[in-house]
């Protein structure tokens, strides 16, 4: 790449992820030693930790990069470059080197020592130059998120180059580092989980309370959101999600007494109105990021708790499951709201139409078995129920018969909860299957399109212990400890014509996570 093309590539990267710092631009575009640059800037020794090193036959891509025949032996090396003082992982590097082009002494040092390649080349007085081939953005997977201590789906900056010796590629290297590393501005990053909403409990109200709910927090999918200070509010992401984030920021910043704004970037999200609680998680993640960004404490000096953040964001007015999933994860049962003339609520309304009402109290939170697999299947049948349609459903179908509420409570108390505590999947699964047919969940099932109903029927014919509808749908979930790959295949087969997505995940027994970079 020429200096001009490097500059052009960096501009493209900035359009994708945001402004890069001078240090990040140097690391992406340098034709010198990255190790030397890091040591000079950080004022510490950079150490190498070898994660993997082995001799392998070059595949077609590696062979093309190194200008060697496919199948020729190369030394495949994966290392991290670490801050020698703090141990922080600064960079992840993958290199391939043809054995036929290595001096025996160089090869010996390369394969046995945790030494940067540039330093080894200096030791052996090898004259070489670096030729940058490409630079870009990749997304952190599970492995890289663990190595760097960041969240899945965060952007990483990456570059590929060759070390040329004697006119031939001696080494092909791919280096990667997080977008938040070496940045000039402080950024707050929040990872918020999706949740299954299993059912609302009491949509009768004769007890003097209403709502209540049960649900489970999930490892996948997640929302990853990044915020930095700005004079104005600016949001980057898909239009509908961006509107939610912007509206939340416009509510939260004045409520916290902040005169400034924020630039908020949605790094990863999942579909809205799919029954997985994305609206609540977006709002809570936004409010939490802004509170951290501006370090605004609650009255008394403590950082705002999740319930206070939910109140600022106007969430949790019917179901408290999303708020509790954000706070602590796991299996959650919330106690609803007081109901009646002098109660918190005087009629039946969804959360989106219940602003100004405090989040429901968490009555029980328990770790959910992580060896139980959870399949999410979301058919392409249009967005789930929301807005005025959702309000009309609550108005037209509530109150539900008291007998159904009582049967639902009995099932939750005497089957579902013991099933979780005793790790009894059959007992828990029986409860989930039962609650699909009673109370407000029965109403939600009756409103599903044919494809969703076919999907539920297909999953019930598999080895899954239970099948349910999350919130108003269209996402259907199945839980089991065996046979879930087959269940996923069954779901895909049903959705093949109309389209849809599947995710095989597990419960998340922790809440949202936040870090500053």
pLDDT at site 301:
58
* Mean pLDDT of the region 358-362: 87
How do residues 16-58 score in pLDDT, each as one tens digit? 999 999 999 999 999 888 999 999 999 999 999 999 999 999 9
Instruction: Please tell me the pTM assigned to this model.
Output: 0.87
How do residues 285-324 score in pLDDT, each as one tens digit? 999 999 999 876 655 556 678 878 877 777 755 578 999 9
pLDDT at site 359:
82
pLDDT at site 218:
98
pLDDT at site 311:
76
Q: Please, are residues 363 and 392 in contact by the beta-carbon 8 Å criterion?
A: no
Least reliable range by pLDDT among 230-239, 339-348, 382-391, 423-432: 382-391
Helix (H, G, I), strand (E, B) or coil at 232: coil
* Mean pLDDT of the region 416-438: 98
How do residues 163-213 score in pLDDT, each as one tens digit? 898 889 989 999 999 999 999 889 999 999 999 999 999 999 999 999 999
In this prediction, what percent of the chain has a pLDDT beyond 90?
73
Q: Is the pLDDT of residue 384 over 60?
A: no
How do residues 263-283 score in pLDDT, each as one tens digit? 999 999 998 889 999 999 999
Domains of the chain: 3-178 (3.40.1410.10), 189-515 (3.30.230.120)
Distance, in Å, from the CA atom of 193 to the CA atom of 460, rounded to the nearest integer, reads 26
User: What are residue 399's DSSP bridge partners?
Assistant: none
| 309 phi, psi to nearest 5 deg | -65, -40
With 0-12 / 13-18 / 19 or more C-beta atoms within 10 angstroms meaning exposed / middle / buried, residue 56 is exposed
What integer best gives the mean pLDDT of the chain? 90
With 0-12 / 13-18 / 19 or more C-beta atoms within 10 angstroms meaning exposed / middle / buried, residue 459 is buried
The pLDDT confidence band at residue 381, using thresholds 50, 70 and 90, is confident
The pLDDT confidence band at residue 106, using thresholds 50, 70 and 90, is confident
* Mean pLDDT of the region 133-141: 96
* Mean pLDDT of the region 105-133: 77
Q: Is the pLDDT of residue 113 over 70?
A: no
Q: Please, are residues 320 and 334 in contact by the beta-carbon 8 Å criterion?
A: yes
pLDDT at site 310:
78
């Amino acid at each position: 790449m020429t200096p001009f093309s490097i500059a052009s590539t960096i501009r493209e990267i900035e359009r994708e992820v945001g402004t890069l710092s001078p240090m990040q631009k140097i690391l992406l575009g340098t034709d010198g030693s990255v190790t030397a640059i890091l040591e000079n800037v950080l004022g510490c020794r950079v150490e190498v930790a070898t994660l993997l090193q082995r001799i392998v036959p070059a595949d077609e891509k590696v062979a093309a990069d190194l200008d060697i025949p496919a199948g020729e032996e190369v030394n495949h090396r994966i290392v991290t470059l670490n801050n020698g003082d703090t141990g922080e992982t600064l960079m992840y590097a993958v290199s391939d080197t043809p054995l036929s082009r290595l001096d025996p002494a160089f090869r010996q040092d390369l394969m046995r020592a945790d030494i940067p390649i540039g330093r080894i080349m200096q030791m052996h007085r090898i004259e070489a130059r670096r030729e940058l081939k490409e630079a870009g953005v990749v997304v952190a997977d599970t492995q890289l998120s663990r190595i760097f201590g960041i969240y899945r789906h965060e952007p990483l900056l990456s570059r590929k180059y060759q070390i040329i010796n004697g006119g031939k590629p001696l080494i092909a290297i791919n280096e990667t580092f997080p977008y938040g590393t070496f940045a000039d501005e402080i950024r707050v990053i929040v990872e918020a989980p999706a949740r299954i909403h299993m059912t609302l409990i009491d949509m009768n109200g004769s007890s003097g309370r209403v709502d209540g709910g049960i649900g489970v927090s999930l490892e996948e999918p997640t929302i990853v959101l990044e915020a930095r200070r700005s004079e104005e509010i600016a949001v980057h992401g898909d239009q509908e999600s961006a509107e939610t984030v912007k509206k939340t920021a416009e509510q939260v910043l004045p409520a916290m007494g902040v005169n400034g704004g924020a630039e908020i970037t949605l790094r990863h999200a999942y579909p809205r109105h799919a029954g997985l609680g994305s609206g609540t998680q977006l709002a809570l993640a936004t409010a939490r990021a802004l509170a951290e960004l501006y370090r605004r404490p609650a009255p008394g000096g403590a950082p705002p708790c999740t319930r206070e953040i939910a109140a600022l964001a106007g969430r949790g007015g019917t179901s408290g499951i999303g708020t509790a999933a954000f706070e602590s994860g796991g299996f959650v049962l919330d106690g609803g709201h007081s109901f009646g003339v002098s109660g918190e609520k005087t009629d039946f309304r969804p959360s989106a139409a219940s602003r100004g009402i405090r989040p429901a109290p968490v009555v029980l939170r328990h770790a959910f078995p992580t060896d139980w697999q959870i399949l999410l299947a979301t058919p392409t049948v249009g967005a789930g129920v929301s807005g005025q349609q959702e309000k009309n459903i609550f108005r037209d179908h509530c109150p539900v018969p008291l007998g159904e509420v009582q049967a639902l409570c009995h099932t939750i108390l005497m089957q579902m909860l013991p099933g979780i505590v005793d790790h009894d999947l059959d007992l828990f699964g029986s409860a989930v299957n039962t609650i699909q047919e009673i109370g407000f969940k029965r109403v939600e099932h009756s409103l599903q399109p044919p494809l969703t109903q076919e999907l539920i029927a297909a999953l019930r014919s598999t080895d899954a212990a239970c099948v349910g509808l999350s919130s108003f749908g269209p996402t259907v979930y199945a839980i089991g400890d065996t046979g879930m790959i087959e269940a996923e295949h069954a779901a895909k087969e049903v959705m093949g014509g109309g389209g849809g997505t599947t995710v095989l995940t597990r419960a998340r027994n922790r809440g949202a996570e936040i870090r500053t970079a």
